[in-house]
Structure 1
Amino acid sequence: MKTAAPETAAPEAADDRQSVPQGAAHTSREIRHQPRLWAETATRLGKERDSLDAFLAPLLAEPRLRIVLTGAGTSAYAGQIARSALARATGRSVVAVATTDITADPTGCFEESGRPTLLVSFARSGNSPESLAATEIADQLLDRCAHLVITCNADGTLATRHQDRANSHVLLTPPESEDQGFAMTSSLTCMLLAALLSLGGDQVRGLAGCPAAAASLLSGDVTDRVTELTGRGPDRFVYLGSGALQALAGESALKLLELTGGAVTALSDSSLGFRHGPKAFLTPRTAVVVYVSNDPYTRQYDLDIFRELSAALPEGHVVAVAARPDGLPADRTWLVDGMADADDAALALPAVLCAQLVALNASLACGVRPDNPFPDGEVNRVVQGVTIHPLQTR
């Protein structure tokens, strides 16, 4: 499968250490170096394209192949964002199921034990208990299961357990993508890109333009607009989108909760689903970000909710993140240049930087240190306190 590699982007601007607030150095750097790391991710994948294709080809030749995209937290959103694009690209059944769901309800997630399955595991560290349990449960319940492990940590338990297995392939993103900050930023996008390139290739439109689009966002006026939005002092945020961009909305809300240490409440939903109860979340101090789809049909629903909420909330509290300006007011649109013809899964790569910047700014405005928003350890970078119970099968 040919790989639509991202175009090489210039390295991110060096951080001015005196201008980065204390406790934000890792998170700030890890947001800004994503364009460069995406180009490195594509280069790494290109070098192992032959071995990867040798692993994937016999699996993708199976008409009944089921591809399960899995991860926990942000890693689960990677699978949800990629799902529909990979289903179209491969012509196979693709589902996104969190490792937390597989671990807690294994027979419900793997009802067809005889169906050939490729389990694609996303993991920043590869040391989360559910990440390990999900692969073991799959092997226990499924008659034919292969594993594609996409991880940022070559020394993580998930990578080392699968490195030399005949039915596994470990795909490593650049070492710098293993974020040192609390929240997943470049780890998410590098793993998502790796999945789209490895299983979708040039069937996923727009991947080549992602680094330039992200670099443009980071150097353009969107950063000022983010500061303007968070400067209005919203005490809650709503993120909305449709399809792949609904999953992006979920990740965006999670990022805000994480980096502000829960000080700013966040909610996500689909553009149509929001009216069915969750709209009660709105107050005059709510900010709303609507991700607008590139699909002409889906886009109509995103524009509808954008207009409706713009009329209901104070001026400037509702913004759109979009790759095309048509139907949107310029002063309330954060434009993702160069992605007008991209699949929404590819658009999500640069678009998520908007959410990361919002979360970073909101965290600092709350007096929270985004590199470690939970200094008392209530929430941990690698989840703790999970007991994996033995699965009894007949």
Structure 2
Amino acid sequence: MFKLEEEKLKDLGAIITTTEIKQQPELWSEAYEIYKENKESINKFIENIGNKHGQFRVIFTGAGTSAYVGNSILPYLKKQNDIRKCIIESIPTTDIVSNPYDYLKSDVPTLLVSFARSGNSPESIAALNLGRQIVDNFYHLAITCAPEGKLAQMTKNDENNYLLLMPSRSNDQGFAMTGSFSCMMLSAMLIFDNIDEETEKLYIESIVAMGKNVITREDEIKSLIEPDFDRVVYLGSGSLCGLTQEAQLKLLELTAGKVATGYDSPMGFRHGPKSFINENTMIFVFVSNDEYTRKYDLDVLEEINGDKIAKLTCAISVDKENNFSGTTFGFDAKNNNLPDLYLAFPYVLFAQAVSLFTAVKVGNTPDTPSPSGTVNRVVKGVIIHQYQ
């Protein structure tokens, strides 16, 4: 589909989503340039919070796909940051809004990092307002794709707020969040990661090259999903476990539930969720680059493959000394030292392609996948109740 002409893609109802998936490697380079332009000022903004209060909380927040940004980056960034300076958490806006007393503490200085494509989600606005209402020393960093969105407008021109806008093309016009997810994730990673500029540049170049590689392998991806199936499970460890949430949601959204989905960690999957597997199930495992964690990922792959029940058991992996003996969608070994969180970018691009191709396969239109109209690009029907 990445090679199809526009008219054919329009006929399939897939031109917007296909374009927005395909352009992501370019957007990652753009997002990196935006980060570099803002690096000094955003570092100063965050450092000032620490200088003023000592230890403070950082809460990554969003709803749906935007919440999965925080879930994906949390394990890696907790490891990269000094707990004596900041305590990093990931809490969806949907949880904050319904249970603010469980998550917001008045006497704890807090930086809320909002991820939002449009910035018009009722929960995004409500979470920000609740933070301002409840927390005595409250700060806000909005990472969003829409300069005209309510969240962006509420964050401008205030010393306790910082607005970081993503590349304009990342404001996905299709139903599903694709470039918005990956650009916001990349930007937050760069802000809170503690690596030198040379390593940073090398990592970005690597993920851009790997992302472009995924796009060129459309036929290979299509061959993996050619058999009939109606269930898909994504498994991953650490940061890649957070990514499995987004991977399965994309497939669920774009097929409008015609394909049932699941996600888990490879270790957790054995404890009940493995019952989901039948003869119509596809299993995709995001394999870690960490030598220790990788052993557990490979163990589960070999176990499921050996059960001979699932339609397909497939590793998404960088080639290393130890690899899965079965089907693998692999990447060149020169990228085998990338931290898992950076691998998340080509991995999620693979998952988005699977979702796109599967949606068309089952007769759905990816650009407008919800035939009933009950699920929308920006959530509707949410009533925000006053909190006192």
Looking at structure 1, the residues matched to 49 and 111 of structure 2 have their Cα atoms a distance apart, in angstroms, of 8
Looking at structure 1, the residues matched to 239 and 78 of structure 2 have their Cα atoms a distance apart, in angstroms, of 12
Letter in 1 for 2:165: L
**How do 1:202-241 and structure 2 match up within 5 A?**
202=195, 206-220=203-217, 223-241=218-236
Structure 1 position 350, deviation (Å): 1.4
Residue equivalent to 1:64: 55
Residue equivalent to 2:253: 258
- 247-256 or 225-234: bigger deviation: 225-234
Looking at structure 2, the residues matched to 226 and 330 of structure 1 have their Cα atoms a distance apart, in angstroms, of 18
Looking at structure 1, the residues matched to 310 and 265 of structure 2 have their Cα atoms a distance apart, in angstroms, of 22
- From 143, 148, 154, the equivalent of 2:147 is 154
Letter in 1 for 2:91: V
Residue equivalent to 2:70: 79
Moved over 6 A (4+): none
Structure 1 position 83, deviation (Å): 0.9
Structure 1 position 60, deviation (Å): 4.3
Q: Tell me the SS of whatever aligns to 1:48.
A: helix
* Contact 2:252 2:261 survives alignment (8 Å): yes
The verdict on how the C-alpha distance between 1:315 and 1:374 changes in structure 2, with shifts beyond 3 A counting, is closer
- From 309, 318, 335, the equivalent of 2:313 is 318
* Contact 2:298 2:324 survives alignment (8 Å): no
Question: What is the CA deviation profile of residues 156-214 of structure 1, one whole-angstrom value per residue up to 9, with x for unaligned ones?
Answer: 00000111121000100011001111000010000101111122152687344211110
- From 290, 294, 299, the equivalent of 1:304 is 299
Letter in 2 for 1:240: L
Looking at structure 2, the residues matched to 308 and 330 of structure 1 have their Cα atoms a distance apart, in angstroms, of 11
The verdict on how the C-alpha distance between 1:331 and 1:29 changes in structure 2, with shifts beyond 3 A counting, is farther
- 274-283 or 56-65: bigger deviation: 56-65
Question: What is the CA deviation profile of residues 1-47 of structure 1, one whole-angstrom value per residue up to 9, with x for unaligned ones?
Answer: xxxxxxxxxxxx88632453520001101110000011111112212
Letter in 2 for 1:155: E
Looking at structure 2, the residues matched to 300 and 14 of structure 1 have their Cα atoms a distance apart, in angstroms, of 37
- From 165, 170, 173, the equivalent of 1:180 is 173
- 273-282 or 122-131: bigger deviation: 273-282
The verdict on how the C-alpha distance between 1:326 and 1:175 changes in structure 2, with shifts beyond 3 A counting, is same
Residue equivalent to 1:361: 357
Looking at structure 2, the residues matched to 106 and 193 of structure 1 have their Cα atoms a distance apart, in angstroms, of 28
Structure 1 position 313, deviation (Å): 3.2
Residue equivalent to 1:31: 21
Q: Tell me the SS of whatever aligns to 2:80.
A: helix
The question of 1:48 aligning with 2:38 is answered yes
Structure 1 position 304, deviation (Å): 1.0
Question: What is the CA deviation profile of residues 271-328 of structure 1, one whole-angstrom value per residue up to 9, with x for unaligned ones?
Answer: 1111111111110110000111112221111111111111123586010111234332
Question: What is the CA deviation profile of residues 246-293 of structure 1, one whole-angstrom value per residue up to 9, with x for unaligned ones?
Answer: 111111110100000110000001111111111111101100001111
Looking at structure 2, the residues matched to 100 and 263 of structure 1 have their Cα atoms a distance apart, in angstroms, of 26
Question: What is the CA deviation profile of residues 316-373 of structure 1, one whole-angstrom value per residue up to 9, with x for unaligned ones?
Answer: 6010111234332476111234531112111111110111011001100110000000
Looking at structure 1, the residues matched to 232 and 286 of structure 2 have their Cα atoms a distance apart, in angstroms, of 13
Looking at structure 1, the residues matched to 122 and 46 of structure 2 have their Cα atoms a distance apart, in angstroms, of 26
Looking at structure 2, the residues matched to 318 and 245 of structure 1 have their Cα atoms a distance apart, in angstroms, of 17
Q: Tell me the SS of whatever aligns to 1:202.
A: coil
Looking at structure 2, the residues matched to 349 and 174 of structure 1 have their Cα atoms a distance apart, in angstroms, of 16
Residue equivalent to 1:134: 127
> TM-score under structure 2 normalisation?
0.93
Residue equivalent to 2:372: 376
CA RMSD between the two structures: 1.8
Structure 1 position 224, deviation (Å): 2.3
* Contact 1:336 1:350 survives alignment (8 Å): no
Looking at structure 1, the residues matched to 320 and 224 of structure 2 have their Cα atoms a distance apart, in angstroms, of 19
Question: What is the CA deviation profile of residues 38-70 of structure 1, one whole-angstrom value per residue up to 9, with x for unaligned ones?
Answer: 111111221222222221222244542211100
Letter in 2 for 1:40: E
Looking at structure 2, the residues matched to 70 and 281 of structure 1 have their Cα atoms a distance apart, in angstroms, of 30
Looking at structure 2, the residues matched to 303 and 329 of structure 1 have their Cα atoms a distance apart, in angstroms, of 6
* Contact 2:240 2:286 survives alignment (8 Å): yes
Question: Sequence identity, in percent?
Answer: 40
Residue equivalent to 1:198: 191
Letter in 1 for 2:158: R
